[in-house]
């Protein structure tokens, strides 16, 4: 009997298709199951409004609707686009190995961030990035932009370029094969990433137990633990993906962020950094915590509590 290919729902952008094809190929290689891509149009793809206005989950709602209607078998999301609350009928069956979660600068003339002259116009659609740019005090003009990666990069490198630089997620730029055009990878001490940036979520219906087990072959436990810590922080702060909140968890040895996994020294730990920045960049609260991977969610919740105790709620409230 011929086994039908699994139907993988995906957005139609170049990045979404690349990520979905990557997951499909990995699943076929690991299990032998054929996978076909099914393109789904989301409200975020058809609107030019800022993401902050469209709301949390704008890029995933249509995919989830297709899952619940049995139009597809599973979906691949950029994990940072998912609402933090668990869906009662859906399950994140796998979190594949994470791509580099850092942000990058793509600037004219190959310039680094510190080399941009005062008054340079930098494009980014993320409140988190805008706030951190302003916090650096570089006298840059920041303008909100939307569009796919190629469109945003064209505003710096294309024949009708109107910006001096853009800031994007390194993961997306790398996945579509344009990493050579990055002019600087931004250190997290300057630009802390968004929670779950660079990670993918492979989602299916909770009741499809055989598929849940099949997809679990793609799961990368260290990535899942890191993302769990970051998203627990975000959820506890009750902040959406458009809030000026940043988080970055790394698995390390011995609880020291400078140590490297695999060096054989010390216990495996999670080091989580979190930040909340006022939109104008004037105020920022940056704290960190360390704990075991088994307690990833608790680390995130505890660090969020620390941030709230330090006044983070007043910084987030100023975005309204």
Outline where 208-254 has alpha helix (H): 209-215, 221-236
Q: How far is CA 281 from CA 76, 137, 229, in A?
A: 34, 8, 25
How far apart, in whole angstroms, are the C-alpha atoms of residue 300 and residue 320?
A: 24
**Among candidate residues 35, 27, 30, the one with its CA nearest the CA of residue 10:** 35
**Which residues in the chain belong to E strands, given as ranges?**
6-10, 35-39, 74-78, 90-94, 103-107, 121-123, 141-143, 165-169, 184-185, 200-205, 245-253, 268-277, 284-291
Instruction: Name every residue whose Cβ is closer than 8 Å to that of residue 202 and which is 6 or more positions away in sequence.
Output: 23, 74, 75, 76, 92, 93, 94, 95, 96, 215, 218
- Whole-angstrom distance between the N-terminal and C-terminal Cα of the chain? 58
Q: Listing from the earlier edge strand, what are the strands of the sheet with 74-78?
A: 35-39, 6-10, 74-78, 200-205, 90-94
Enzyme catalytic residues:
81
Cα separation, 35 vs 27, in Å, equals 8
**Token digits for 168?**
């994007």
Task: Decide: helix, strand or coil at residue 292.
Answer: coil
3-state secondary structure of 67: helix
């Amino acid at each position: 009997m011929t086994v039908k290919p699994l139907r993988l729902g995906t957005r139609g952008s170049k990045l979404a298709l690349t990520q979905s094809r990557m997951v499909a190929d990995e699943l076929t290689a690991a299990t032998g199951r054929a996978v076909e891509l099914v393109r789904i149009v989301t409200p975020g793809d058809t609107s030019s409004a800022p993401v902050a206005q469209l709301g949390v989950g704008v890029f995933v709602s249509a995919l989830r609707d297709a899952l619940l209607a049995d139009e597809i078998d599973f979906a691949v999301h950029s994990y940072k686009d998912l609402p933090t609350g668990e869906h009662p009928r859906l399950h994140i069956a796998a979190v594949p190995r994470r791509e580099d979660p850092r942000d990058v600068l793509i600037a004219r003339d190959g310039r680094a961030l510190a080399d941009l002259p005062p008054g340079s116009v930098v494009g980014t659609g993320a409140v988190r990035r805008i706030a951190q740019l302003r916090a650096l005090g570089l006298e840059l003009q920041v303008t909100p932009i939307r569009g796919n990666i190629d469109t945003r990069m064209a505003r710096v490198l294309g024949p009708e370029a109107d910006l001096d630089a853009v800031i994007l997620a390194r993961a997306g730029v790398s996945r579509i094969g344009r990493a050579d055009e990055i002019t600087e990878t931004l250190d997290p001490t300057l630009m802390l990433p968004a929670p779950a940036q660079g990670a993918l979520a492979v989602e299916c219906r909770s009741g499809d137990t055989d598929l849940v087990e099949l997809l679990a072959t793609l799961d990368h436990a260290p990535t899942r633990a890191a993302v769990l810590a970051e998203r627990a922080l975000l959820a506890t702060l009750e902040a959406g993906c458009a809030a000026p909140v940043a988080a970055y968890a790394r698995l390390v040895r011995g609880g020291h962020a400078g140590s490297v996994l695999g060096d054989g020294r010390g216990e495996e730990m999670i080091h989580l950094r979190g930040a909340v920045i006022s939109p104008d960049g004037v105020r920022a609260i940056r704290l960190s915590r360390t704990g075991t991977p088994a307690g990833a969610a608790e680390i995130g919740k505890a660090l969020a509590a620390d941030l709230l105790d330090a006044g983070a709620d007043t910084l987030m409230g100023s975005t309204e």
